[in-house]
Amino acid sequence: MFFARLRIAVPLSLVVGLTLTIPATTVGQDAAAEEETLAHAMSLSRAFRRAAQRVTPSVVTIISRVNPPPVAQGEGEEDEAMEGVPPEFQEFFKKHGGMNRFRRFGGPQRGMGSGVIIDEGGLILTNNHVVEGADEVLVRLSDGREFKGLDIKNDRISDLALISIKGAENLRPMKLGSSEKMDIGDWVIAIGSPFELEMTVSAGIISAKGRSIGASQRRGRYLQTDAAINPGNSGGPLVNLRGELIGINTAIASRSGGYQGIGFAIPVDLAKWVVSELRDDGKVQRAWLGVAIREMDADLGRQFGLARHGGVIIAQTVPDSPSEKAGILAGDVITHFAGSRVRMPAELQAVVERAEIGKGHEVHLVRSGNVQVMTVSLEVLPEKLGVRRPAAPPATKPPAQ
C-alpha cells in the first residue's frame, strides 16, 4: 500500500512542479490564440447571419391546392356499396336509382413548397413540380402577406416555373449570382419551408458540381450540397455568403424520404436562361441535335483508345435529324461542340439545347482514332421527342470507315 501511494505521489509532485514553472508568456500566447480562433469563428457566424438576413425577405412559401374530381360508384360496385346499409335506407336508394347516383367527393389536396422573388414587379421562380397540376396557387411572403399566384409558366424538362403576383408592394428581389463561379467546398445557405416550417435556414457546402440525378425527364448538371433540404424546400433558394442566388433546391437523395446529407439544386446559370425563355415566349425553345448518347467510361475508353470522360459517345443518330444530315455516325465521339469542351452527356446536352437554332455550329469528333471537324445546323427540339427517340442499344465500338 505504501509503495502504491509513493508511485502516485511522485508524479503528482512533478505535475505540480511543472504547473508552477509554466512561463506566463505561454499562458498569454494560448489565450491570444484562443481569442483569435474565436474571432474567426464569430466572423464566419456574422457572415452567415448577414446573408440570411439579406435574402429571407426574398423567399416565399408556395401553397398549391388540387381539387380532385368527383368519384362515382360504378355499376359493378352496387351490391358491395349496399353492404352495411340498413334495410330501410337500401330501399330508399333503390327507389332513387341506386347508390351509383350518389357521388363521393374527395377533399382538396394541399402541397407546400418555396420560391424566390426575382423581380420587384412580382415575378417568382420555383420548381415546376411545386405548382404543376394545381387548381389554385397561393404565395405567402416572408412578412405574412398572401397573394394569388397568376400566369404560371412552366418548363417540365428543367423543373422550373414562373409565378406572377399582382398588387404586392415593396418586394425585394434576390440578387442572382453565378453557379459557375461556385466551387466545391464553398459555403452555402438553403432557405425554405421544410415540413411546413416556414423560413427555415440551413447551412452547408457545395459537395459536388455537374451531378446527374437519374434517368427521369429532368436533366441538367446539378449542384450537390450537404445543406439540409427536406420536403417543402423545393423551389427555395441556395445562396452564397454574399446573399446571391446560386441555385434552386429541387431534390434529395434519401432512403428515408428526408434529409440524409445529399441534396441537389438547379444551377442559377441554367435558371437564368429558362427564365428569359419563359418570359419572352411562355415556353422554353431548345435546340436539337438528334442523337442518343452514352458516357465514356473506363471500359469503353479502352475500346475507343481514349481516356475516361474523353468525350461523349454517339450511340445512334435519329433519321433525318441535324446530326444525320451533318454526317455524324454511331460510334463517333464528340469532344467539342461550338467551342465548348464536352466530357459528359449532360455537358453536351447543356451546350446543345442553348445553342442558336438554324446556325452552323462546329463539332469536333473522333472517328476511328482520327479527329474530324464538321458543321451542324441545329433544329427546334420536337415536342414529341419520345416518339422519335431511337430505342436501339448504344454503340460500344468505333464506326467502320
| pLDDT 10s digits, 7-25 | 444 443 433 444 445 565 6
Between residues 15 and 367, the one the model is more confident about: 367
Q: Closest Cα partner for 73 from 101, 94, 39?
A: 101
Domain span(s) for CATH 2.40.10.10 in the chain: 187-281
| 299 is an active site residue | no
260/346 Cα distance (integer angstroms): 25
Please identify which of the residues 58, 193, 234, 321 carries the catalytic annotation: 234
| 129 is an active site residue | yes
Q: What is the DSSP letter of 242?
A: T
Please identify which of the residues 58, 64, 114, 159 carries the catalytic annotation: 159
241/243 Cα distance (integer angstroms): 5
Q: Which CATH class is domain 287-388?
A: mainly beta
Give this prediction's pTM.
0.77
Please report the pLDDT score of residue 391 as a whole number: 38
| 234 is an active site residue | yes
The mean pLDDT value for 273-290 works out to 94
Please report the pLDDT score of residue 257 as a whole number: 81
The mean pLDDT value for 339-343 works out to 94
- Strands across the sheet containing 150-155: 146-148, 136-140, 59-66, 109-119, 123-127, 160-164, 150-155
Q: Where are the beta strands (DSSP E) in 132-262?
A: 136-140, 146-148, 150-155, 160-164, 187-192, 200-211, 222-225, 237-239, 245-252
**b/e map 4-27, b = 16+ CB within 10 Å:** eeeeeeeeeeeeeeeeeeeeeeee
Domain span(s) for CATH 2.30.42.10 in the chain: 287-388
Query: Pairing between strand 146-148 and 312-317?
Result: unpaired
Return the C-alpha cell found at 323. 446530326
CATH code of the domain made up of 187-281:
2.40.10.10
pLDDT band with cut points at 50, 70 and 90 for residue 275: very high
Please identify which of the residues 58, 64, 114, 129 carries the catalytic annotation: 129
The mean pLDDT value for 44-70 works out to 91
The mean pLDDT value for 78-98 works out to 57
